[in-house]
A and B are shown apart, each in its own frame.
Chain A
Amino acid sequence: MSVPQFFFGYFAVMLIGLSIMVVTRKNPVHSVILMLVLFVHIAGVYLFLNAEFLAAIQIIIYAGAILVMFLFVIMLLDLKKEVTERRFLKPWPLGLVVAGTFMVFITAVLGKLTVFPEPGKYSIDRIQAEGMMMTIGKVLYTEYLLPFEIASLILLVAIIGAIVLAKKRLE
């Protein structure tokens, strides 16, 4: 077993184990903290795949912003009653069967996947020569300019929507 395969094995075991723990913990605070560890490991996988910009974004946005928002909401709500009750819906074996069947089928189909045609022009050497930010920025602001603007609109809608939904009704 080579060194990259060893590291991939570590990340795979940690990702699968942590995600199982995230969806089965009774206390939502524990789930969020485990999710934090999970996101750090996903950032590690991104680094492994030469996507250092996305690794930084993953830490900053997911761990720094989204999970903090989850923690704030959990602390705003009083969840003492919920953590003592049962954690799954009544027909939970059905959900297990559905998710398990999905997993078996999709791994059977995708497990044989190999890299196809000729590789594109963004090889590791070119990205290294040009710089990661330069490469991503050039593509983002030329080819993907319209989606980028639409993303800013989505964020605006989210800001206004969150404020309108969560604020108290003024009499």
Chain B
Amino acid sequence: MVPLSWYIVLSAIVFSIGMFGFLVRRNLIIIFLSIELMLNAVNISLVAFSHYLQSINGQILVFFVITVAAAEAAIGLAILIAFYRNKPTVEADEINLLKG
């Protein structure tokens, strides 16, 4: 039997790795991938709680998180394309069009 805390620790580690990628990467596409990674880490912990507490609510919440993640990825990538038309780069530190 695998204890609940193992799943939570696994989820925390994956979340931290996603946080690291979000903080330090220059490529905006990989920053979006890091956000997806963090959302998935939270999903793992929600499903683990749902299983160990024998409640279905965690799985419903994961369903909604996946919905929001899909919407977020669509909007984010659309903004990326719209920006690329103004300045052809996807590097986070070169996006400075509003700087005086």
Q: A99-B17, A119-B54, A136-B60 are in contact. Are A113 and B8 (CB under 8 A)?
A: yes
Cα distance A135–B23 in the bound complex, in angstroms: 40
Question: How far is A132 from B15 in the complex, measured between Cα atoms in Å?
Answer: 28
Residue contact B23 to A73, C-beta cutoff 8 Å? no
Question: What's the interface size class on B, roughly?
Answer: 35 or more
A124 to B75, CA, bound (A): 38
Q: Is the interface of B mostly helix, strand, loop or mixed?
A: helix
B18 touches A19 (CB 8 A): yes
Q: List 15 A-B contacts (CB under 8 A).
A: A4-B1, A15-B10, A22-B30, A28-B29, A32-B33, A42-B44, A69-B74, A77-B88, A89-B25, A111-B5, A115-B53, A127-B56, A140-B63, A158-B70, A158-B75
Interface, chain A (partner B; CB < 8 A): 2, 4-5, 8, 11-12, 15-16, 19-20, 22-25, 28, 31-32, 35, 38-39, 42, 45-46, 49-51, 53-54, 57-58, 61-62, 65-66, 69-70, 73-74, 76-79, 82, 85-90, 92, 94-96, 98-100, 102-103, 106-107, 110-115, 119-124, 127, 135-136, 139-140, 144, 147, 151, 154-155, 157-159, 161-163, 165-166, 168
